[in-house]
Amino acid sequence: MDKKTLPIIVALILVIIFWWDILGWLGLVKPNVAPPAPAADTTQVAPSDTIKQPAAAPATAPTTDTTQTAAQATETVRSDTVIVRTKVYVLTLSSVGGGPVSIKLNNYAYRDSVHNGEPIEMLPDCQSVVPEATFAAGTFSSSKVAYTCSVAPGTYDATSAPFDIVYTYTAPSGGALIRRYRFSPDQYDYQLVIEVNGREKLGFERQYELIWNDPLGVTEPEPETDYEAMEAVAMMSGSREKLADFEDGKLNQSLTGSTTWAGVRAKYFSAVLIPRNRVADGVFARGSRQKIQLGNRSIEKRQITAGLDLPFELTSTFADTFTVFAGPLDYTLMAGYHVGLQDMLDIGTTPYVGWIIKPFALAIIWLLPKMYVVFPNYGIVIILFALLIKIITLPLSLKQYKSMNAMKELAPKIEEMRKRLKNNPQQLNAETMKLYKEHGVNPLSGCLPLVAQMPLFIAMFSVFRSTILLRGAPFVWPWLDLSRGASGFTDPYIIMVILMVVFQFISQKLTMASNQQNKMLMYMMPLIFGFLFYKLSAGLVLYWTVFSLFSIGDYFIFRRQKNLEVKTV
């Protein structure tokens, strides 16, 4: 490191240390500013009594079979509420629609400034029971009729044993629609059985649709990242299919084929419908996207629902069983369903290259939580993981330094050749390669550590972006969340990016040959990486920063090894 470079590095380190104070002094930011609140119509959690509560009245059946509306139902019946508490959920169920109108997660809380600390609501804007089954070409909705319930209104405990509840709608014609539920103590799903007795009396023919009819909401401090992650996904014939063909701000997409499951996801949570006694014939997604104003920013708000097409035989009675998942995007948890549900996370599903990335992703998903048990801070875990990877790639790094050092020594000869053969590029290239061969230099060996790391790095990007692993994981300062990145150049998270750029520059300065072309790369590459990384998760930035720091250590190991070789010759 030369004398001109040292003052620059010292100045950069001082800027990094006092970055937040400098910004405050310049009046660019105010200290401890809370994240901006999402627009009220996008992230408000619907209370458990979203379904309108009419005045008490006798529980009577509707007068029509296939055109019953929610308004008619609430005018004629009282919506008796049942609350079921498991270890992971608190569910509120309504007799109008016969099912859940609220699903709150016990183990996960909102992190936005409006609901910060409250349990996450998986039905944030519930207008009717979810999921909804529609029959008779959509003219009859299971969520808009009144049911009798097998248990009395009240709160029930399901933390030690499964709890069963049955809702029955009986039509004046004699047909019946039954919804059976089983809630288990510690599972992020429940069992739903939809049973039809007297199909012909109800006027149901050919097929019905089961729909997750309430879009997921925003749960994170940066609503934009939540909305960007929202999509409808299905598993069809063993392949992950994404339904995201918006046209003029509307999503109205259908796919036909053998469908194992379908659902919707946000950044860290998802809701999925899984048929158990047969596969569905297709999937569809409905939704909208529009620009909304959030503080001084314009972001794209998304609302998406998804459903399954389920044909049935024209028998008088039939029943379909479903697993309804509503919970975190946890790869290990979702893999336990043995239907490819973990592909909801989109890890290792990229065509052609996914098979290369997936083993690295699975290794990260398995190893990092194991390390966390011993070192309960994911920042420390990532640093130790970077050290482990550096030790594994050390032979490649030493080979890189040896090659780069040889190229440094050859740089004057190559420069002289360029001047001499500037009008004959073919001869210049031939003589340059001959010179490399004579001195045993491979110009591509300098890229070996980076190339070797690319599958791992892409896997880390996929894991940190898609799974709940780093959600809310702090490091050093309580406000430094490893799951999020910088929202702009005045965001304190930019400190991580500056550190990454500095250490990458030092690493390249120590190893690259000092010709004109390399000087440009030396200054441009760290800046390009900083620009690409600054919105990525701080955990990923931390990994690359620490890896660059350890790479500087590699250089001194190489120098010591080289000096020993010289002394023994």
Average pLDDT per 10 consecutive residues for the chain, totaling 569 residues: 47 48 48 36 33 33 38 45 96 96 96 84 95 94 95 95 97 94 97 96 92 95 89 95 92 96 96 96 96 85 96 91 97 95 86 79 92 93 91 77 73 79 81 78 62 78 85 79 78 83 82 60 80 84 88 75 48
| 3-state secondary structure at position 29 | coil
What is the model's pLDDT at position 369?
93
DSSP symbol at 143: G
Q: Which domains does the chain have, with CATH numbers?
A: 40-339 (2.70.98.90), 371-568 (no CATH)
* pLDDT for residue 320: 96
Start-to-end CA span in the chain (Å): 27
pLDDT for the residue numbered 67: 41
- Residue 407 CA to residue 521 CA, distance in Å, equals 15
| pLDDT at residue 49, as a whole number | 35
Both tokens of 432, joined, read 């340059």
DSSP state of 45: P
Residue-level pLDDT at 478: 67
Tell me the two tokens of residue 489: 């150049």
The strand pair at 280-294 and 250-265 is best described as antiparallel
Helix (H) or strand (E) holding 334: helix 331-335
Asked if 149 contacts 178 with a C-beta cutoff of 8 angstroms, the reply is: no
Task: Give residue 495's pLDDT.
Answer: 83
Whole-number Å distance between alpha carbons of 223 and 245: 21
Q: So what's the pLDDT on residue 34? A: 34
Q: How confident is the model at residue 289, as a pLDDT?
A: 94
**Cβ contact 330:107 at 8 Å:** no
Q: Is the CA virtual torsion 102, 103, 109, 111 positive or negative?
A: negative
**Closest Cα to residue 177, out of 234, 98, 238?**
98
Q: Which amino acid is at 402?
A: K
The Cα-based distances of 523 to 80, 259, 377, 454 in angstroms read 68, 51, 33, 22
Among residues 292, 294, 266, the alpha carbon closest in space to that of 122 is found at: 266
Exposure of 477 by Cβ count < 10 A (0-12 exposed, 13-18 middle, 19+ buried)? exposed
What's the predicted TM-score (pTM) here?
0.78
Q: 91 φ, ψ to 5°?
A: -110, 140
- pLDDT at residue 66, rounded to an integer: 39
